[in-house]
Amino acid sequence: MNQYYVVINGKPAGPFPLEELNEIQIKSGTFVKTAGMDDYKEAHELPELRQLLGLKEKVALPQYFASLDIRLMAILIDYFMVFAVYCILATIVVVFIDQQQLRIIVSLSGLTLIPIVKLIYSIVMESSSRQGTYGKSLMGIKVSDELGSRITLSQSLIRNVSKLLCVLTLGLGYLMGFFDKRQQCLHDRIAATLVIKDRLI
């Protein structure tokens, strides 16, 4: 069972078992963490504490939005990762092919799969508990709905497929983000999503 560290009068105390937290009389905004958590969170953010202490979750709207240059860097990282995996797999396949011409055909035809793999990868990862691809995670950003919560698989599908509209408008769909205070591009508006970061960096 989890043991909780609690910030009391500005100092961390504990760990305390879940049952003892009632005696400490922690409030909704009390900072708590377990050994498995990277940082402290307010008590209302943890479902087990809300249930035990009868707390209501406070919904804090996102305040910091990822700029387009950071988002572009995340996309480049993701494409690099997908391409690296493709190169490894293509090398393995080509080793077993004797004809040089067939090697070239197989290698080049595989390149057409990269955008499709990237699309599927983005759809799955952005709707996961990670809320973003590895590229986004490395850049400290994630995808959320307009309230800051995790998006659904269908929302992620709409968001990523809608990027085709941004391409078909010759990039104007992406440029919309420059003129939006929440940095929403066309595909974000269609799917009602945001690309957010935890703090201003």
Q: What is the pLDDT of residue 150?
A: 92
Whether 196 shows a pLDDT value over 80: the answer reads yes
Q: Which of 60, 42, 32 is nearest to 144 (CA)?
A: 60
Is there a contact between 166 and 159 (Cβ–Cβ < 8 Å)? no
Nearest to 196 by CA among 65, 99, 41: 65
Band (43; pLDDT cuts 50, 70, 90): confident
User: Tell me, what's the pLDDT at 156?
Assistant: 97
The residues spanned by each domain of the chain are 3-53, 68-197
Poorest-pLDDT segment among 25-39, 59-73, 169-183: 25-39
Tell me what pLDDT residue 12 has.
Answer: 83
pLDDT of the residue at 123: 97
Tell me: pLDDT of 120 over 80: yes
| Per-residue pLDDT band at 147 (split at 50, 70, 90) | confident
Rounded to whole angstroms, the Cα distance separating 16 from 3 reads 5
Number of other residues whose CB lies within 10 A of the CB of residue 124:
15
Kindly state the average pLDDT of the residues 96-124.
88
* Identity of residue 4: Y
Q: How far, in Å, are 19, 100, 114, 121, 137 from residue 109 at the CA level?
A: 60, 14, 10, 19, 30
Which two structure tokens, joined as six digits, stand for 36? 């498995």
| 6 contacts 12 by C-beta, under 8 angstroms | yes
Backbone angles phi, psi at 188, to 5 degrees: -70, -40
pLDDT above 70: percentage of residues in the chain = 95
Question: How far does Cα 174 stand from its chain's mean position?
Answer: 19
Q: What's the pLDDT at 199? A: 64
pLDDT in tens, 3-18: 888 888 888 887 888 7
Q: What is the pLDDT of residue 201?
A: 47
**What secondary structure letter does DSSP report for 132?**
S
